[in-house]
Amino acid sequence: MTREPRAVVLKGIRKRFGDVTAVADVDLEIRPGELMVLVGPSGCGKSTLLRLIAGLEERDAGEVWIGDRCVDDVAPGGRDVAMVFQSYALYPHMTVAGNLGFGLRVRGADTAATEARVNEVAGVLGLRGLLSRRPGQLSGGQQQRVALGRAMVRDPGVFLFDEPLSNLDAALRLQTRDEIAALHRRLGTTMIFVTHDQVEALSLGQRVAVMDHGRVQQVGTPHEVYRRPANLFVAGFVGSPPMNRLPVVRDREGRLAGGPFVFPGASPHREATLGVRPEDLALAVVAPPDPGSNPDFTATALRVESLGSEQRIHLDGPGDAAWVARAPSALHVTAGDRVAVSVAWERTHLFGADGGRIGAASRPVRGSRP
Amino acid sequence: MIPLVAAGAVAAATALILAVAADAPSGAREHRNREEARAAAALYELPGVAEADVVALLDGRARIVAPEAGGFGPGVHAYRAGALEPAAWIAVEPRGEGRSWPWAASLFALLGALGMAAWAGAQRLAPPRPRFPAAPALFCAVVFALVAVAAQQWARGELEAISASRLTGGLRAAEIAGASGADSEAAARVAGLPWASGAALDEPDRIWTMPREVGEAIAADARLRTAPRYTVAAGGAAYHGGSIVLPPDRPVRAGSPDDTLHLVFLGYEETASPAVALMASALGSALLVSLVLFLLPLAARPRALSRTLAAWAFLTPAAALLVVFTFGPLLFSLWISLHHWSLIDPAHPFAGLENYRALLSDGAWWSAVGNTAVFTLHVPLAMAVALSLALLTRESRRAVRWARLALFLPSITSVVAIAVVWKWLLNDGYGLANRALGAIGLGPVAWLSSPDVALVSLMVIGVWMVVGYQMVVFQAGLAAIPRVWYDAARVDGAGPWQRFRHVTLPGLRHTLFFVLVTSVIGSFQVFGLVYVMTEGGPLGATDVAVYHIYREAWEFLRFGNAAAMSWVLFGVVFAATWLHFRFLERRSAHA
């Protein structure tokens, strides 16, 4: 794969279906050789955006640049992209070899060259023994590889993946995810990967673009998106279980307060939301009280989910909404226990009324006492 | 319980076979009695015949009464020359002959019943396993076959006796007629059968109602001139013949070469041969008993039994309709195709494959087959048009919906209505088509009256008729092709033609095959258009197979030939369909 990887640049892309705005003024730059993941809930416009890049949808406004040319008036076949579809879209009447070679044949490549290239790709993907089968005779995972191979055969500048793993079972999904990552390292090609699964997005992407309501909410490395979510939506969407929230409002003295917490210093914001990731809560069972501890609040464990390596403890506080904490499985907590909770304040988030992140919350001046 | 049911089933089955056997000659008896009455009336109508002669003819079984009196037994009205009102009612008392009994068949039936009883007894000792008892079923089938064969032999003997007795009666009637001075034609008529001739039997036109095979066998028989009574076996039946010398003082008809009256009487083929009915009843009996034997083991499990019975009860109406209206006529036409079969001739002698052999050298038939094949060429054309229309009318705009409706209309319109309208449109003199041509300065075309153009005209109308239906089927097929295949092909760089070639066509493969096969079959069966528009003309240019068969049967009354043609056509259609299957399966295996 001697190809120079290509950049993909989207400038002010807009797409409407009737009254529904699927993609609203998206600007996004995907660097050459990068694996960019578009992630978001269903209906957020991520697949439409991918299809706009591929040229399968007509844009209403904006420009799509692939490499150093604007491809707005270029047919999908001429954009130097290859796409892997969720349903694989294999042609059932062709053999595996026929499917793999289709893209070359319709471009008029000669038979010998096509065959050689198909063999090469089949070797990479471990499909050599299946070349004369038909898609209907393959397992889901094998079909997925064929779909991948069909994209690879043409050696495109950009790979587009439209939720290619969602039809696979859990074990196969993990394995295929690793293979796609390995493939990316090996080929070094630009890849754009659409998924609704934030775990998939974080584990696979070099950078992640979180989308909602047709807009890109945040672009960044998985670490940035997770650790410094740009807004409440990203904070809630990325991470499992989702970030705990507590509404806070400005009190008479100009300080933000909510639940048991009063944060020092005057705040320009009238109201805000405190966000704390479940793993940033440290738990201790209240009785007998640990003399050295100084918990930020106490709560009652409503339910304990044991996941083996860790446990998730559902708490009835600190505010009206329940919080979830992640705790090591060694901690002995049962439903109904009172627990003392300490918050890693340097890793918390405050979001303004518009949802945007203000910064980390500082340690409150007053917390509830056990 | 179980032995009782099994024995009952066997008894019912054998009774069925014996009843069929006993019934076989009764039709022939009835027919003979009617003939006797007719012969008596014909004799009565001859001038110079005394009433005593009529009574004597039937050994005193005839009674001559006033026309309105009616009477016992079969009878007919007799007319005097020149009168419109009947002169007398001649009633004939049926022959009180002692009927024989199919002893051999009964003996076999008894043995079978004993065997079944023994089996049932054995079952009582060892309880039945819930599976089909093959050995008893086979035993029953063999017994019923023996019963059927024995019963058929018996019925055949009965029929021959009746047939022979008819000859005796006929010869006597002819003798009496001759004695009263009737000519040989009149004597033959009195003898009551068309197969009597005052002339030599080797004159083909005098034996026209007789199956050619029988006539030729009789004419070739040396005993014809010498023996007063003889029997000729032909076509699987025995035909009785005899001759009498008419008295020399009769008024001789001009041109009659011979004063001998030959009479030939139908063999028992005139009633349906008992073999078929008996074989059918034996088969039915075997099925019946198999059914009982199959159900018996289930009797131990009432729920399984009731479920099975319920399933069969639901199947029965559909199966009965299929048997009566589809498979029955199908097999009957096969039967007819193996016989010389005319609608007006009661005799249907067996012909073997002769009808089929005759077809091989029948130029008109092959010309009709050729026309049908040419007509069928409209199918691929129609499919191409229909597919184009389906692709054009893919989106669902209002105008498109109306266009679709308009295109589909011919499919729900009566063929006759379509044919009549087109016949007017394509009329040579005042048809709209020629008017339109004339308006733009082109000469008239003999759409339906030129042998070169007529079939093409029909093909064009054929395309117009089927295109709407095919288009709707194609639309359904197109809708079933996943859009993502087109997306994948576009990303792969396939242009519109390549997408059509590699995505649309393969995706429509089964639809295309369905439309092709059904349309080809429909095209082979084209009839209404030809019947209404051209009647096969001009000069046989549009004589298609089904129309040819129709004419062979209902105009020329050669049902045997027509049935053979039907089966040849069936074979051709079947072969064509099979080839389609083979060809397309191979194609799809290597695509």
Residue B191 has pLDDT above 80, yes or no: no
In degrees, to the nearest 5, what angle opens at C-alpha B540 toward C-alphas B539 and B545? 180
Q: Most A CBs within 10 Å: which of B484, B485, B491, B586, as the mutation test of the A interface?
A: B491
Residue B97 has pLDDT above 70, yes or no: no
State the pLDDT confidence band at B444, using cuts at 50, 70 and 90: confident
For chain B, the farthest-separated pair of C-alpha atoms sits apart, in whole angstroms, at 107
Residue B3 has pLDDT above 80, yes or no: no
- Asked if B482 reaches chain A (Cβ–Cβ under 8 Å), the answer is yes
- B487/A51 CB distance under 8 A: yes
State the pLDDT confidence band at A369, using cuts at 50, 70 and 90: very low
Which residues numbered 39-58 in A keep a CB inside 8 Å of some CB on B?
Answer: 51, 54-56
- A154/B498 CB distance under 8 A: no
> What is each CA distance from B310 to B133, B302, B313, B320, B432, in whole angstroms?
22, 12, 5, 16, 61
- Asked if A137 reaches chain B (Cβ–Cβ under 8 Å), the answer is no
Find the mean pLDDT for residues B415-419: 91
What is residue A340's DSSP assignment? E
Q: What is the pLDDT of residue B591?
A: 42
Using CA atoms, how far apart are residues B261 and B195, in angstroms rounded to an integer? 11
State the pLDDT confidence band at B252, using cuts at 50, 70 and 90: very low
Most confident of A303-312, B139-148, B185-194, B432-441: A303-312
- B591/A93 CB distance under 8 A: yes
> What is each CA distance from B250 to A42, A243, A359, B42, B47, in whole angstroms?
111, 129, 140, 18, 13
Using CA atoms, how far apart are residues B256 and B185, in angstroms rounded to an integer? 10
Tokens linked to A327: 């705790």
- Name the residue in chain A with its Cα closest to that of B506: A93
Q: What is the pLDDT of residue B204?
A: 46
Tokens linked to A153: 């055969």
Total count of residues recorded for chain A? 370
Which chain B residues are Cβ-neighbours of A106 within 8 angstroms?
489, 492-495, 498, 502
Among all chains, which residue has been given the structure tokens 């009565």?
Answer: B44
Using CA atoms, how far apart are residues B30 and A284, in angstroms rounded to an integer? 112
- Asked if B484 reaches chain A (Cβ–Cβ under 8 Å), the answer is yes
State the pLDDT confidence band at B253, using cuts at 50, 70 and 90: very low
How do residues A339-356 score in pLDDT, each as one tens digit? 888 888 888 898 888 888
- B484/A77 CB distance under 8 A: no
- Asked if A102 reaches chain B (Cβ–Cβ under 8 Å), the answer is yes
What is the interface pTM, i.e. ipTM, of the complex? 0.84
Q: What is the pLDDT of residue B153?
A: 81
> Does residue B149 or residue B421 have the better pLDDT?
B421
How do residues A27-60 score in pLDDT, each as one tens digit? 999 999 899 999 999 888 888 999 999 989 888 8
* Mean pLDDT for chain B overall: 79
Using CA atoms, how far apart are residues B399 and B384, in angstroms rounded to an integer? 22
Residue A171 has pLDDT above 80, yes or no: yes
The region of weakest confidence among B192-201, B364-373, B413-422, B485-494 is: B192-201
Find the mean pLDDT for residues A220-246: 89
Using CA atoms, how far apart are residues B552 and B342, in angstroms rounded to an integer? 11
Find the mean pLDDT for residues A206-228: 91
Q: What percent of chain B has pLDDT over 90?
A: 15
The region of weakest confidence among A167-171, A227-231, A241-245 is: A167-171
Nearest to B210 by CA among B77, B75, B109, B348: B348
How do residues A182-195 score in pLDDT, each as one tens digit? 889 888 899 999 99
Which residues numbered 489-548 in B keep a CB inside 8 Å of some CB on A?
Answer: 489-495, 498, 502-503, 506-507, 509
- Asked if B485 reaches chain A (Cβ–Cβ under 8 Å), the answer is yes
Residue B475 has pLDDT above 60, yes or no: yes
How do residues B531-547 score in pLDDT, each as one tens digit? 988 888 788 888 899 99
Neighbour count for residue B413 (Cβ, 10 Å): 13
- Asked if A150 reaches chain B (Cβ–Cβ under 8 Å), the answer is yes
Contact B164, B240 (CB under 8 A): yes
| Nearest CA distance, B475 vs chain A (angstrom) | 20
Q: Most A CBs within 10 Å: which of B492, B497, B586, as the mutation test of the A interface?
A: B492
Q: What is the pLDDT of residue A194?
A: 93
Q: What is the pLDDT of residue B467?
A: 92
Parallel, antiparallel or unpaired: strands A338-343 and A349-351: unpaired
SS3 (DSSP) at B107 = helix
How do residues A69-96 score in pLDDT, each as one tens digit? 888 888 888 888 999 998 888 998 899 9
Using CA atoms, how far apart are residues B260 and B244, in angstroms rounded to an integer? 6
Question: Residue A155 — φ and ψ, nearest 5°?
Answer: 50, 60
H or E stretch including A158? strand A158-162
- A82/B491 CB distance under 8 A: yes
- Asked if A106 reaches chain B (Cβ–Cβ under 8 Å), the answer is yes
A238 CB-side CA count, 13 A = 31
H or E stretch including A223? helix A222-227
Q: What is the pLDDT of residue B211?
A: 61
How do residues B116-143 score in pLDDT, each as one tens digit? 778 777 776 666 565 667 777 788 778 8
- Asked if B584 reaches chain A (Cβ–Cβ under 8 Å), the answer is no
Residue A370 has pLDDT above 50, yes or no: no
SS3 (DSSP) at B563 = helix
B199 CB-side CA count, 13 A = 13
> Does residue B239 or residue B336 have the better pLDDT?
B336
Structure pTM? 0.67
At B31, which amino acid appears?
A: H
- B484/A55 CB distance under 8 A: no
Residue B470 has pLDDT above 90, yes or no: yes
Q: What is the pLDDT of residue A1?
A: 44
